Every structure is written in structure tokens, then in C-alpha cells.
């Protein structure tokens, strides 16, 4: 039995409109999502934000036990293999969370999943593709840095044996026709990460015409960073002991042949082409994603 279930909060407007779902702490050590969502919910409860149409669903803490322990996950990365399993295949704590969260995702029109990440580097958005409707939803969040092709970059990797690993919350939402985005609000402990998430939720509420609020709620001084659009091209898992050759930051440029990491047995992992490194994780556990790479698009 599951000892701790995620709490789900729903606010409905009188008018017709879509369903927006906002997730926080799918990874338990990423606190900016819960902070941002709770700030928004307080403002809804005080009447400073009025939900006027459609439905807004908040799950501030999707993985409660990982959140309490300040760890990424307890037994399984909740943002991999994210789909409901039959009862006799439930082995991990997180498998129980799928059963609570998947039905929420199945019923939403828009999913905004708030995360943060390990290495330094600013906020950016993972989206499905550069189609007009994907880009329009992403642009509304106020973070002009977009990365797409994550699932293909993972599932095309021969090191990934079970391709269902590449099914995260946003991929699962797309199976049910939703427009879904992951917003990486910045580095885990960045003091402005929760502000980035808060402003993104406000922007989504306005863009989808779900709520009314005073302009003074908007945060005016969020960090400005270079815009980019990046297509992800591939990934490498950390298969045994080894280390990066330097402290890679998210979006550092790569030249073909650059030695990115070295296993303790001497095998080197080099950049297969000119591009950039995405989500490098120096202290990754063995068997998990060490880094991704991609190429910047001229758009």
C-alpha cells in the first residue's frame, strides 16, 4: 500500500475553457515547483487571482516521500517509465504514484511540469517540437530558451535497453492529446528558480484565459539570458565509474572530438559532432543519464 499520496487541488471557473495542470516535485529535491505552486494557490484562495474559466489543477508535490527526504526519487525515477502498471507489476513506491498522477494527466489539455536541474545555467523549456502550437505555449511562459527532442535523444541511445524509459510526464500527456511542457526553472538551489516558476504559471493562466489578476503580481526583474532553440541529438548513460573531464555547465559548446568524460578504465567519451551539452550530471548514479547533447538551430 502507498503510505503517502500526492495532494491534488482543483480550481474551476464559471466560463468555458481548457484544463491546465501544473506539477511540482516530480523529482523530490526540486523545490522551486512546490514553492511556485503554493504561492499561486495562496493568491487564488485570497482572491487576488480569480479563476474565471476552465479548470486549473495543481499537484504541488508529485513525489511526497522523495520530497520529504530531499532526494530525486525513492525507488524509481518518477519521470521515466511514467505510465500506469498492472497491479502485479507494482514493485516500487513510485509505481503507486503513477496510479494517482496518470489519470490527472489523461484529463488535461495543458500540462506544465516544473523542475530544476543540477548544473549551473539558466531556465529553459523542454517542448515536443517546434510546431506553431508548441512554440506558442512555450513562448507564453516568458522563458525564450527551448530544447526539443528529449525522448528521441534518450530512446535512440543503444545503452538504453527498455525504451519505455523515455516516457515521462509530458510524453504521457502527449499520448492523450495534451500540449505539455517541462520548465527547468534553473539550478536546484538558485534563489530565483521559484520566481521563474511562479511567473510561468501566471503567464500560462493569462495565455489560456483561465484567470484574472492585477498586473502588479507579475515579477518584473527576472534574469535575462540569451535566447536559443536546441534540437537534442543524443545521450550517454553513465555505465560504470568515471568522471567528467571538466565541470560542464548546461549549454556549454562542444567541438567534435572534445573529450567530455572518461571512465576509470581509460575509455573516453567524445563529442560526436559540433554542438552543445545539455543537462550534464557529473555525480550521476551508474545506469542513469550522464549527459545529453544537441545542436542549436538558426531560427
Cβ-proximal residue to Zn ion, closest one: 115
Q: Which residues contact 149 (CB under 8 A, 6 or more apart)?
A: 129, 231, 232, 233, 294
The only residue of 17, 23, 25, 27 in contact with Zn ion, by rule CB under 5 A: 27
Q: Which is nearer to Zn ion, 55 or 145 (CB)?
A: 145
Give the binding range for Zn ion (CB under 5 A) out of 30-38, 40-48, 134-142, 240-248. 30-38
Task: Report, in Å, the least distance between residue 115 CB and Zn ion.
Answer: 3
Q: Which is nearer to Zn ion, 62 or 269 (CB)?
A: 62
Q: Stretches 51-59, 112-120, 143-151, 152-160: which one binds Zn ion (CB under 5 A)?
A: 112-120
Q: How far is the CB of 131 from Zn ion (least distance, A)?
A: 24
What's the min distance (Å) between Cβ of 73 and Zn ion?
A: 10
Q: Are 232 and 150 in contact (CB under 8 A)?
A: yes
Q: How far is the CB of 30 from Zn ion (least distance, A)?
A: 5
Q: How many angstroms separate the Cα of 25 from the Cα of each of 58, 59, 82, 190, 198?
A: 11, 9, 14, 15, 14
Spatial distance between the Cα atoms of 213 and 48, rounded to a whole number of angstroms: 6
3-state class of 269 per DSSP?
strand
Note whether 115 binds Zn ion by CB under 5 A.
yes
Q: Cβ(56)–Cβ(212) under 8 Å?
A: no
31 binds Zn ion (CB under 5 A): no
Binding flag, residue 80, Zn ion (CB under 5 A):
no
Instruction: Compute the least distance from the CB of residue 34 to Zn ion, in Å.
Output: 12
| Residue 284, helix vs strand vs coil | coil
User: In the complex, what is the shortest distance from the CB of residue 74 to Zn ion, in angstroms, rounded to a whole number?
Assistant: 14
Stretch of 13-21, 113-121, 202-210, 217-225 lying at the interface with Zn ion (CB under 5 A): 113-121
Q: Which is nearer to Zn ion, 115 or 190 (CB)?
A: 115
Q: Which helix (H) or strand (E) holds 37?
A: helix 32-45
Nearer to Zn ion, 17 or 168 (CB): 168
For residue 83, give the nearest of 104, 99, 69, 72 by alpha carbon: 99
Looking at beta carbons only, is 134 or 170 nearer to Zn ion?
A: 170
Picking from 215, 189, 282, the residue whose alpha carbon sits closest to that of residue 243 is: 282
Segment near Zn ion (CB under 5 A); pick from 115-123, 207-215, 273-281, 283-291: 115-123
Query: Of the candidates 58, 59, 55, 60, which has an alpha carbon nearest to the alpha carbon of residue 19?
Result: 55
| Nearest distance from C-beta of residue 48 to Zn ion, angstroms | 29
Q: Shortest distance, CB of residue 14 to Zn ion, whole angstroms? A: 35
Contact region with Zn ion (CB under 5 A), list: 16-24, 38-46, 57-65, 107-115: 107-115
Site of interaction with Zn ion (CB under 5 A): 27, 30, 115
Amino acid at each position: 500500500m502507498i503510505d503517502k499520496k500526492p495532494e491534488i487541488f482543483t480550481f474551476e471557473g464559471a466560463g468555458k475553457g481548457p484544463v491546465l495542470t501544473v506539477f511540482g516535485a516530480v523529482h523530490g529535491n526540486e523545490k522551486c515547483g512546490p514553492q511556485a505552486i503554493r504561492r499561486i494557490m495562496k493568491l487564488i484562495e485570497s482572491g487576488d487571482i480569480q479563476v474565471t474559466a476552465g479548470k486549473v489543477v495543481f499537484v504541488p508535490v508529485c513525489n511526497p516521500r522523495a520530497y520529504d527526504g530531499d532526494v530525486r526519487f525513492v525507488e524509481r525515477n518518477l519521470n521515466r517509465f511514467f505510465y500506469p502498471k498492472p497491479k502485479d507489476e507494482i514493485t516500487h513506491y513510485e509505481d503507486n504514484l503513477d496510479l494517482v498522477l496518470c489519470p490527472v494527466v489523461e484529463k488535461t489539455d495543458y500540462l506544465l511540469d516544473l523542475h530544476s536541474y543540477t548544473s549551473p545555467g539558466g531556465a529553459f523549456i523542454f517542448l515536443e517540437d517546434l510546431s506553431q502550437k508548441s512554440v506558442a505555449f512555450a513562448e507564453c511562459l516568458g522563458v525564450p530558451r527551448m530544447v526539443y527532442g528529449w525522448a528521441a535523444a534518450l530512446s535512440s541511445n543503444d545503452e538504453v535497453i527498455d525504451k519505455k524509459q523515455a516516457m515521462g510526464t509530458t510524453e504521457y500527456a502527449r499520448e492523450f492529446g495534451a500540449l505539455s511542457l517541462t520548465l527547468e526553472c534553473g539550478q536546484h538551489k538558485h534563489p530565483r528558480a521559484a520566481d521563474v516558476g511562479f511567473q510561468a504559471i501566471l503567464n500560462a493562466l493569462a495565455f489560456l484565459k483561465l484567470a484574472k489578476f492585477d498586473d502588479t503580481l507579475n515579477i518584473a526583474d527576472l534574469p535575462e539570458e540569451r535566447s536559443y532553440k536546441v534540437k537534442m541529438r543524443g545521450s550517454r548513460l553513465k555505465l560504470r565509474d568515471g568522471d567528467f573531464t571538466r565541470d560542464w555547465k548546461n549549454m556549454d559548446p562542444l567541438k567534435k572530438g572534445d573529450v567530455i568524460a572518461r571512465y576509470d578504465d581509460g575509455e573516453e567519451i567524445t563529442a560526436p559532432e559540433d554542438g552543445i551539452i545539455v543537462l550534464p550530471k557529473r555525480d550521476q548514479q551508474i545506469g542513469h543519464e550522464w549527459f545529453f547533447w544537441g545542436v542549436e538551430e538558426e531560427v
